[in-house]
Structure formats: C-alpha cells, structure tokens
A = this chain, B = another copy of it.
Amino acid sequence: MRDTRTARPTLETVARLAGVSRATVSRVINGSEGVTPGVREAVDRAVEQLGYVPNPAARSLVSRRTDSIALVVPEPAARMFSDDAFFTGILRGIGQELDAADKQLVLLLASTPANHGRITRYLRARTVDGVILASLHGADPFPSELAAMGVPAVASGRPLSGGVIPYIDVDHVGGVRAAVEHLLAQGRKRIATIAGPQDMVAGIDRLAGYRGAVAAAGMRSLVEIGDFTRESGTTAMRRLLDDEPAIDAVFVASDLMAEGALRTLRRERRRVPEDVAVVGFDDATAARSTEPPLTTVRQPIHETGRMLAQQVLRLASGESVEPAVILPTELVLRESA
C-alpha cells in the first residue's frame, strides 16, 4: 500500500480491479478489435474509477513511438520574419492538425550555435516521430542532417540548400505576377520593387517573380533590397525616388516594408495611389489600417501550418509525400493600388 495521492494507477491496477489481465486492458485502451463487449465495459469502468492515464514513457519505450512532433525554429528566421504574426499563424495551423491527430508539439528554438548541437542530439535520440523545420536562411545544415539521420522531416519554405527533404511553400512567383499585372492593367509605366533579403527564399522568389513579370511586359526592372523591416522599407523607398523620380508604382516584398514605403511617399508628398501605386505582400493585419489601406498579396499562412503538420504525420506513419507542395497566393485589392 502506497500513498494514494502520489501512487498513480498502472495497467496492473486496472487489470486487477476489472478482473482481467494486463494484456486485455492494453487492448481496450488502444482500441483493439477482439475484445468482448462485456469485458471492454468492465475495463472502461475500472479505468474511469481509478482515473487511469497511460504512462507515455513506458509506452514509447516499447512501441518506439513518442506521439510528438518537433518544430525547429532557427533564430534568424524567427527574428527576421516580416512579422511575428507569420510565426504564430503557422504555429496555430500546426497545432490544429497535431491536435486532431492527438500528437504533441515540441518547440526547439535554435537561438545560438551551441544550441544547434543540443537540438541535433535531441533529434538523434528519436524523442520525436517527426520534425517540421521553420523557414531557413541560406545554407542551413538542418535539412541534410535530418535526412542523414533518417528522421521524417518537412520544411516550411523551399530549403535553399537543395531538395533533400520535402517542403511546403506558397506561390511567391504567382502572387507577385498577379500584383505586377494588376499594376500594368492600371497603365503604370515605371514599376519598381523593394525586395527582401537575398539569403531567404521569400526574398529571392519574390524578386524573381517581379523580374519575370516586368520583363514579360518589356519593361526594365528597378530594384532596392530591404530586410523585411519597416525601417528598411522607408529608406529603400527614398533611394528609389532618388534614383528614378518618375516611378509610378512599387511592389514591396512585405507589408511591413510597405508601411515604411508609404511613410516615405507621404513625406515626399506623393499621393497613393494617384501618383504612386503600392502593393505589399503578406496581408498582415496592419495592411487593413495603413493609409491608404494596402493592396497586397495574401499567403495562406494557417493552411501552410496545417499542411506542414499533415505531411510530417504522413511521413511519420511511413507513407511517402510529394517532394513539394505549393499553396496558392491571392491578390487582395484595397486602396493603395
């Protein structure tokens, strides 16, 4: 007899109370087929009465499953991203799907390089059934490491290091094309862009999309590089106006930078959209409240999170998945263009 406060019931306890064996209780708990209804009921009652909850450690020791998925977030990604809403949006999407599948989410923040080793070790211990990699900078080592370890993994955003693990991304190029075509349809003649950092996929692909669309229209491109922050949008816009005062439209690779750009335009007394049209990217919450409200490219953040979770769960259960899933983007028309 042990302290009833601390002594948690085990399979054994339940089995005795229900008058059956451990194996049978296990079958009932895990919903196996061949159990007589009467017995099943007796076990259920015992479980209920004792408040039995299976011990996950014991379970995963033998089953070699942990029912949990890791989300690895390299710090640069977390810090740089256009806004935190992106991160939390993805998180909610992932959470929703894992929830439905009754899996846990383990968050691994890679803040320091030291930390990186800690994470790899953790992953090697097979403490999780699968890994989701948040979007990465340049030559991030995680994808190939994970592939080498044989851990089921998917990435958010096309990994720049090459196609070694499957990924989910949004249609950057298509979104930008729609934006530029919208500007062209308005009769804009001189369309510039404020691009994102060129060591991130989002930065690279959106710039490529702009270049392609502008070239297709037989126009010259005009590019300034920012770093996805509001401040960089402000200064980049100023440089653009200095270089080419005749600009009548600008595609900005993030809403945050677009806010900054709007500010410069206001200071320079350029009317938006009359003198200069502005299109952003992200459809951040702030896009509704800029002056004027921002026309922007919406990306399905929540859906991305859900898809990430779905794919990694598939991989974890042994199925195979497409090497890439590209989710559609959508131009949202407001007043800035």
Shortest distance from the beta carbon of A191 to any chain B beta carbon, whole Å: 25
Bound Cα distance A83, B256 (Å) = 14
A263 adjacent to B291 (CB under 8 Å)? yes
| Bound: A231/B293 CA distance, A | 13
- A positions within 8 Å CB-CB of B: 5, 8, 51, 53-58, 60-61, 66, 68, 71, 78, 83-85, 87-88, 91-92, 95-96, 99, 102, 104-109, 111-112, 115, 118, 121-122, 124-127, 150, 230-231, 234, 259-260, 263, 285-286, 289, 291
Of the candidates B57, B66, B91, B260, the one whose C-beta lies within 8 Å of that of A61 is B57
Q: Taking A105-B106, A231-B289, A289-B263 as contacts, is the C-beta distance between A99 and B87 under 8 angstroms? A: no
- A118:B99 contact, CB within 8 angstroms: yes
Given A53-B121, A99-B109, A121-B53, does the pair A78, B68 have CB atoms closer than 8 Å?
no
| 27 A-B pairs (CB sep. < 8 Å) | A5-B150, A53-B121, A54-B125, A55-B61, A55-B126, A56-B57, A56-B127, A58-B61, A78-B88, A83-B84, A84-B85, A84-B87, A88-B88, A92-B109, A92-B111, A95-B109, A99-B112, A99-B115, A102-B118, A104-B106, A105-B107, A105-B108, A106-B106, A230-B289, A259-B289, A263-B291, A286-B286
A127: chain B residues within 8 A (beta carbon): 56-57, 104
Closest Cβ of chain B to A300, distance in Å, is: 17
Q: In the assembly, what is the distance between CA of A7 and CA of B111, in Å?
A: 31
Tell which of A54, A57, A83 has the most Cβ of chain B within 10 Å.
Answer: A57
**Contact indicator B109/A122 (Cβ below 8 Å):** no
Residue with the highest number of chain B CB atoms closer than 10 Å, among A55, A231, A259:
A55
Between A56, A78, A230, A260, the greatest number of chain B beta carbons within 10 A of the residue's beta carbon is seen for: A56
Which of A83, A111, A231, A289 has most B Cβ within 10 Å?
A289
Nearest chain B residue, comparing its CB with the CB of A70: B104
CB <8 Å contact, B84 and A8: no
Minimum C-beta distance from A292 to chain B (A): 12
Q: How far is the CB of A226 from chain B (nearest CB, A)?
A: 14
Instruction: State how many angstroms separate the Cβ of A144 from the closest Cβ of chain B.
Output: 17
